[in-house]
Chains A and B, each alone.
Chain A
């Protein structure tokens, strides 16, 4: 904890107060005819851990580069800690940043890498050394100061980069896909490390990733971007259970999309009528063609003659140990995936008739046209 105190600004400052709020208002960035960022607004609370999630080209990196000051927006404002820094150059923003490919200075020792930001701030040699060592202790690399970056593994290098980003006690830490160059085990280890740092330092973190699992496990809230627009910004559970639109629904986890006809009270699928609760529609759905969205693990597999079940024919059974994925075709031709505990399933083979049960509250309703 001593090391943490040295980073967070001494024991008198509690962790919760070190982060700065970020306000992004109407951010727009065009590259020629392409609108990379289209009127994006985000309100990030002080000390919050937020993930920007999206496919490549969604604009998530451009938003991050604008926060860092490497890219100037065509319109919009960025406030950090209430201060307008839309046009402030990167070196005057006092932001920490961790890049995808470590970007350690190869000609400097680990200790000199970590002390570099302190040197830029005119801090004396003795204090630089002490604070760099304290920062290395925070990322569990005590005693590595004298090594050169090339003597470290990828995970160690990224931890040095992390130490370099927090050593000057920035109020905001930006992370640009920092774990994508690491293998799976290291990535999970680093995820835990970064979560720990976040709770210990109380710093605001903006984390860009294309890995939905990473975003869900690490962040307080996740912003899903697509084609330069924010689709939804919400905590992980809300994103998973009530995605704002079909894109968000398909981007996070697996989601069945069953074409249906909505009459205002019930959804008609394969000759059956499913009565839906009022909150099944995330946004207003006009009567007519619609999409019924159900998570595979919410669908039950039952006998084909059950009156409340949707009759279907099994097309494939994928056994996966604890769970089994049953792929079935409804009588109207729509394909449905159901995931169930293997122990609870009767023996099934392609061609078998089954009934698929969608419990009340498991289904969401979206307008049929593309969001």
Chain B
């Protein structure tokens, strides 16, 4: 191997380590027998996982987070898919402006977005409501849906819908029966992204949380301030596992989408 290749490998390994080491430190703490965070962990127990699942407050937060994440995935995917379609098949000028605005929620710091949403929701009475959470999370998640869906839609021949229409399908039927099945893997992948973005989201949730309904990340903040037991790393283990699972399935789906949407010619 040439020295340049070696250097590159070393650099990649260093970056990976830099990213992964904090996670690798937190994860073992979940199994420590101590009631405080300890590294290296002392002993081995799965008791903190049990504690999480036995606690009504944690379970309420988990259920609330799941509900919000599911609704967010649904809304962001619906709007995001329609937006992608308009972006690629619709008129030019609005599409270009929209494309520029789309990355807004990605580049604007979440804290800025959260403050803005907080002020807006206070006036409109959406603060602390489920609808408010879902709207806020959908704003954050939608760009990711649009990015995955447009990637698939760009490789689908627009002429296919023309062919479906001349065969007797209405415009919507042509979309539903021809285009949608071809981009479905990426749509589902986008939905998974949206789900995990909402499920993991702490900043906006911090601002929007009411007194009763708290999402899981918000509850973790509270717990860190008050108790800081190994329940937190235990949750971190599960969240990491979930995220990895979602990302891997999203990647697999997108690969499936590429073979599916490929034109029949080759």
Known: A91-B166, A150-B264. 12 other contacts (CB 8 A): A89-B171, A90-B162, A96-B166, A97-B166, A99-B163, A101-B159, A101-B263, A106-B160, A106-B182, A107-B178, A148-B264, A164-B163
Q: Report Cα–Cα, A99/B165, bound state, in Å.
A: 13
Interface membership of B266, Cβ < 8 A:
yes
Decide: B168 and A91 in contact? CB cutoff 8 A.
Answer: yes
Q: Please, which residues of chain B bring their CB within 8 A of the CB of A104? A: 163, 264
**Known contacts A101-B265, A120-B173; is A107 also within 8 Å of B181 by CB?**
yes
Decide: A103 and B160 in contact? CB cutoff 8 A.
Answer: yes
* A106 contact from B162, B167, B262, Cβ within 8 A: B262
Contact digits for B249-266, partner A, Cβ 8 Å, 1 yes 0 no: 000000000001111111
Decide: A102 and B264 in contact? CB cutoff 8 A.
Answer: yes
Interface membership of A121, Cβ < 8 A:
yes
Closest 8 CB pairs of A and B: A120-B168, A149-B264, A117-B167, A103-B163, A90-B165, A97-B166, A150-B264, A106-B264
Decide: B162 and A168 in contact? CB cutoff 8 A.
Answer: no
- A-side interface residues, number (CB < 8 Å): 34
8 Å CB interface, B159-195 against A: 159-160, 162-171, 173-174, 177-178, 181-182
Interface membership of B222, Cβ < 8 A:
no
Decide: A105 and B166 in contact? CB cutoff 8 A.
Answer: no
Decide: A103 and B260 in contact? CB cutoff 8 A.
Answer: no
B: residues with CB less than 8 A from A are 157, 159-160, 162-171, 173-174, 177-178, 181-182, 260-266
Interface membership of A262, Cβ < 8 A:
no
Q: Please, which residues of chain A bring their CB within 8 A of the CB of B260? A: 106-107
* A103 contact from B157, B173, B177, Cβ within 8 A: B157
Decide: A70 and B162 in contact? CB cutoff 8 A.
Answer: yes
8 Å CB interface, A82-123 against B: 89-91, 93-97, 99, 101-107, 116-117, 120-121
24 cross-chain CB contacts under 8 A = A68-B166, A70-B162, A91-B165, A91-B170, A91-B174, A97-B163, A101-B265, A102-B265, A103-B159, A105-B164, A105-B178, A106-B262, A107-B182, A116-B164, A116-B167, A116-B169, A120-B169, A121-B168, A148-B264, A150-B265, A157-B264, A168-B167, A168-B168, A174-B166
- Number of A-B contacts defined by CB within 8 Å: 85
* B159 contact from A99, A157, A165, A168, Cβ within 8 A: A99
Decide: B165 and A89 in contact? CB cutoff 8 A.
Answer: yes
Decide: A117 and B168 in contact? CB cutoff 8 A.
Answer: yes
Q: Report Cα–Cα, A96/B263, bound state, in Å.
A: 22
CB distance from A217 to the nearest CB of B (A): 26
8 Å CB interface, A135-172 against B: 148-150, 152, 154, 157, 161, 164-165, 168
CB distance from A100 to the nearest CB of B (A): 8
CB distance from B221 to the nearest CB of A (A): 46
Contact digits for A171-184, partner B, Cβ 8 Å, 1 yes 0 no: 00010000000000
Q: Please, which residues of chain B bring their CB within 8 A of the CB of A69? A: 166
Q: Report Cα–Cα, A121/B166, bound state, in Å.
A: 12
CB distance from A83 to the nearest CB of B (A): 17
Q: Please, which residues of chain B bring their CB within 8 A of the CB of A165? A: 166
Q: Report Cα–Cα, A245/B219, bound state, in Å.
A: 84
Q: Please, which residues of chain B bring their CB within 8 A of the CB of A117? A: 167-168
Q: Report Cα–Cα, A95/B168, bound state, in Å.
A: 9
Q: Report Cα–Cα, A157/B171, bound state, in Å.
A: 24
**Known contacts A91-B168, A117-B168, A168-B168; is A103 also within 8 Å of B265 by CB?**
no
* A99 contact from B162, B168, B181, B266, Cβ within 8 A: B162
Q: Report Cα–Cα, A99/B263, bound state, in Å.
A: 14
CB distance from B248 to the nearest CB of A (A): 24
Q: Please, which residues of chain B bring their CB within 8 A of the CB of A121? A: 168
* B261 contact from A106, A116, A120, A152, Cβ within 8 A: A106
Q: Report Cα–Cα, A104/B159, bound state, in Å.
A: 9
Q: Report Cα–Cα, A165/B164, bound state, in Å.
A: 11
Q: Please, which residues of chain A bring their CB within 8 A of the CB of B157? A: 101, 103
Q: Report Cα–Cα, A97/B169, bound state, in Å.
A: 13
Of all chain A residues, the one with the shortest Cβ separation from B174 is A91
Name which of A68, A101, A121, A152 has the most chain B CB atoms within 10 A of its CB: A101
